[in-house]
Chains A and B, each alone.
Chain A
């Protein structure tokens, strides 16, 4: 039986506020038990559920401009590409929260989802995670560590969502207090560039922000109705988000 949405969590990232400091990446790694990268890890094999990309407008000084784009799972709502291709049902859209949840223990490691994801927001465990001696004690007990051979991605800090739901139950409420459920990246951002909340709650900050004129989605033409919105006053950023021209990084790739 299909359940009615109780909430549809989403994000609005203000690219004009992001300074590219990388705090969100760090906070995400700590919250979600991402092991430190191996020595041989590179852009392709390293695991960063949240990754900050740099994009520039390709012009020479003084017209040169750069924005930093924190890119995590975009939580596509419609025809979610990774759900559509997964042969294992290892990823599903939670009907109560809209979260596209990955269950790594179900994954068989075919990496179809990584190919399907238009945002390159999925990562693969090429080897078993390992932590420096003593650091296992600092692992977050609310998030299960993954093993070699499975894909993983941002689940909107599901450990915090679980804790917020349990707290709501203890206080006799049916839905978590928005103040109890804030993902690590949102909480750690020093320039308050990321808003998070229930998109279906018309009064929430995030629902209002995503309706504003300079708000956009990455690759909106794919019509996956992602729940992570971005905003920027710079027209070239919005144009690049359409994916019609490649962002020019250091060597022509996203850096």
Chain B
């Protein structure tokens, strides 16, 4: 056979590509369910039309309070709003017993990274969407994927398994921080952002 070598090479390359691009990400990431379904759109859209910082608040001392505590949900959701099963679970399992909802945080950074939302939003005038994309407009929570080796969320590496950043950028790696800092002539020292 004339093309035996070529055929073997192409089929080998094909298998390797499928393994690398399809099987490897499936093996690397484990999908974990969120404890409740949540629609950002229901909160930011009509009629509630809340802004990001109505729930994700900034404290006066410069801290960012992140995902709201269940008491904050209770301001509106002390009793079920609507008749869905999720709503009933929210009130009965979390709001009434005052148990915090164990959300899985897509953008949780490693322990040694320090990031001040206050500095970036108040002083740097960055919009939430610039790093978090259209998360605030999403109808439901997308699956939370965790790296089996590092334990970090897939959002840190970004959706593209090759590590080549997509445009607009969706990853949250250090080179993205550094790129923006270099562009805006902000601090490049390690200790500025590492704790």
CB distance from B40 to the nearest CB of A (A): 25
Which residues on the A side are within 8 Å of B195 (C-beta)? Answer: 142-144, 158-159, 162
Other-chain contact of B111, A3, A91, A144 (Cβ < 8 Å)? A144
Distance between Cα atoms of A168 and B191 in the complex (Å): 18
Tell me whether A103 and B122 are in contact in the complex, defined as CB-CB below 8 angstroms, given that A1-B185, A166-B62, A167-B61 are known contacts. Answer: no
Q: Is A155 close to B, CB under 8 A?
A: yes
- Chain B residues within 8 Å of chain A by Cβ, number: 24
Distance between Cα atoms of A163 and B119 in the complex (Å): 11
Chain A minimum-CB-distance residue to B58:
A170
Q: Is B192 close to A, CB under 8 A?
A: yes
Chain A minimum-CB-distance residue to B117:
A166
B191/A167 in contact, CB under 8 A? no
Distance between Cα atoms of A166 and B61 in the complex (Å): 7
Which residues on the A side are within 8 Å of B123 (C-beta)? Answer: 169, 172, 174
Q: Which of A64-72, A92-100, A216-224 contacts B (4 or more CB under 8 A)?
A: A92-100
Distance between Cα atoms of A171 and B59 in the complex (Å): 11
Distance between Cα atoms of A91 and B112 in the complex (Å): 14
Chain A minimum-CB-distance residue to B193:
A162
Distance between Cα atoms of A95 and B122 in the complex (Å): 22
Q: Which of A55-97 contact B (CB under 8 A)?
A: 89, 91-97
Distance between Cα atoms of A103 and B122 in the complex (Å): 27
Q: Is A45 close to B, CB under 8 A?
A: no
CB distance from B180 to the nearest CB of A (A): 14
Q: Of residues B59, B119, B188, B194, which shows the largest number of chain A Cβ atoms within 10 Å of its Cβ? A: B194
Distance between Cα atoms of A1 and B178 in the complex (Å): 12
B188/A163 in contact, CB under 8 A? no
B188/A101 in contact, CB under 8 A? no
The interface bits of chain B over 50-71 (1 if a CB of A lies within 8 angstroms of the residue's CB, else 0) are 0000000011111100000000
Which residues on the A side are within 8 Å of B58 (C-beta)? Answer: 170
Distance between Cα atoms of A166 and B191 in the complex (Å): 14
CB distance from A94 to the nearest CB of B (A): 3
Distance between Cα atoms of A171 and B58 in the complex (Å): 11
Distance between Cα atoms of A96 and B182 in the complex (Å): 14
The interface bits of chain B over 83-111 (1 if a CB of A lies within 8 angstroms of the residue's CB, else 0) are 00000000000000000000000000001
Which residues on the B side are within 8 Å of A142 (C-beta)? Answer: 114, 195
Tell me whether A103 and B112 are in contact in the complex, defined as CB-CB below 8 angstroms, given that A3-B187, A96-B192, A167-B61 are known contacts. Answer: yes
Q: Which of B37-59 contact A (CB under 8 A)?
A: 58-59
Which residues on the B side are within 8 Å of A167 (C-beta)? Answer: 61-62
B188/A95 in contact, CB under 8 A? yes
Which residues on the B side are within 8 Å of A255 (C-beta)? Answer: none
Chain B minimum-CB-distance residue to A158:
B191
Distance between Cα atoms of A161 and B142 in the complex (Å): 36
The interface bits of chain B over 166-195 (1 if a CB of A lies within 8 angstroms of the residue's CB, else 0) are 000000000000000010010111111011
Which residues on the B side are within 8 Å of A174 (C-beta)? Answer: 123
Q: Is B137 close to A, CB under 8 A?
A: no
B189/A162 in contact, CB under 8 A? no
CB distance from A175 to the nearest CB of B (A): 11
A94/B191 in contact, CB under 8 A? yes
Q: Is A105 close to B, CB under 8 A?
A: yes
Which residues on the A side are within 8 Å of B160 (C-beta)? Answer: none
Q: Is B31 close to A, CB under 8 A?
A: no
A93/B189 in contact, CB under 8 A? yes
Distance between Cα atoms of A172 and B58 in the complex (Å): 13
Distance between Cα atoms of A172 and B63 in the complex (Å): 14
Nearest 5 CB-CB pairings of A with B = A101-B191, A94-B189, A166-B62, A167-B62, A144-B112
Q: Would you mind naming 30 contact pairs between A and B with Cβ atoms under 8 Å apart?
A: A1-B182, A1-B185, A3-B187, A3-B188, A89-B190, A92-B189, A94-B190, A94-B191, A94-B192, A95-B187, A97-B191, A99-B189, A99-B191, A101-B189, A101-B190, A103-B112, A103-B191, A142-B114, A144-B112, A158-B191, A162-B116, A166-B119, A167-B61, A168-B62, A169-B118, A169-B119, A169-B122, A170-B58, A170-B61, A172-B123
Other A-B pairs beyond A3-B185, A103-B190, A170-B58, 10, CB < 8 Å: A1-B182, A92-B191, A95-B189, A101-B191, A103-B194, A163-B61, A165-B62, A166-B63, A166-B119, A170-B60
